[in-house]
Amino acid sequence: MNITASIDEYINDYDNFIYCKGEANKFHIQATKIWQNYDLSTVLYYKSTKKTAKVKNNRVFLLVSSIFNSPEILFVSKKQNFIDNLLQYGDVYLVKWNNPEKQYKINDYVLSLSTIINKLKTQNVTKKIDLVGHCIGGNLAVAITILKQQYIRSLTMLTSPWDYSHFLLAIKLYKMFGFYDLIKETELVPKIYIQIMFFLMFPNQFQQKIVNYETRTKFEKENYLLVEKWLQSGTNLAKATYDEIITNLVEHNMLLNNEWYINDKQIDPSKISVPVCIITSKKDKIAPKNSILPLHKSLKNSTLIEIAGGHISYLLKDNQNFNNNYKKWLTTI
């Protein structure tokens, strides 16, 4: 089948699929919305109903999603459901980032987490928190671990970059070809712009994934379409946040150079004493292994787990391998 026929098949399947309610919708319904933290974040609560002897004490997880997309990739279907796996060990509080109405900066996201933890502590959450951060949410999780370490039991980072230098060439090209000028005067960066930005980083992958689509099984096609649907569920970014990501994280490599400060406190990973688990996937181009190794080496108690897959596909294709490796780590801390 040629590329045109493959695109036609994909478009037809996508149009039929996109309007169907998936497991992610049901999982949102199952959650209890605790509060909305101003307009920046919403906290969803999932109560554990499974008592297990895998961990001595029932735990409390605070899951920090990426600021670029909705957290639905963490529970796209019943079989691919990271939160369901966490619920085997305890209750889960999920931080869902909203479309901002103000010019928030990266530190505002961290301070929002600080407010959330304070509120949890006033709502009879007496146990220390197992903190989990996905993608750039992992960076936020590192910062709040340092600021609120007395309340944190462990930290997990799911495919989160720390050294952002691999994005530098792409950012230079964006500016050179005027792509950045499209949003120069806007207050909000629309989610479609973010999607295009990531697409332009790896344009050759588009043709390959379309050509490969016809060779997938029915189950694989459904997974693929679930991910495509998730990609459309992103959030807008405040221009101030976007500019900080480009200037501070990428161009100045603020995290790698230990130049991140929140209220005059340095975000120095070497100060973290709780156990840390870093998940890296072999084919990840957004958060490749070499982008997280500097953080891994600077931590006192860090376990690096490398698994098959890409930036998000490890949550789907290699789901059991990922879950089993993570379970082993959880049971040792």
On the CB side of 290, CA atoms within 13 Å amount to: 4
Closest to 86 in 3D by CA, of 50, 124, 117? 50
Return the structure tokens found at 308.
């098959």
pTM score, whole prediction: 0.89
Q: Could you tell me the CA-to-CA distances from 241 to 25, 39, 208, 237, 279 in Å, in that order?
A: 28, 15, 32, 6, 25
Helix (H, G, I), strand (E, B) or coil at 150: helix
DSSP string over 219-288 = HHHHHHHHHHHHHTT---EEHHHHHHIIIIIIIS-TTTTT--EETTEE--GGG--S-EEEEEETT-SSS-
Residue 231: which residues within 8 A CB-CB, separation 6 or more? 69, 195
Query: What integer pLDDT is reported at residue 53 of this predicted model?
Result: 42
The candidate with the shortest Cα–Cα distance to 64, out of 123, 127, 125, 114, is 114
Low-confidence ranges of the chain (pLDDT < 50): 1, 3, 21, 23-24, 52-53
Which amino acid, one-letter code, is at 175? Answer: K
User: Would you tell me the crossing angle of helices 218-231 and 3-17 to the nearest 10 degrees?
Assistant: 70
Task: Classify 145 as helix, strand or coil.
Answer: helix
- Per residue in 36-57, pLDDT (tens digit) is 666 789 999 988 875 544 555 5
Beta 152-158 vs 276-281: how paired, if at all? Answer: parallel
Specify the pLDDT at position 170.
87
The token duo for 268 is: 């120095």
pLDDT value of residue 4 = 55
- Token pair, residue 72, equals 């639905």
Side chain identity, residue 215: T
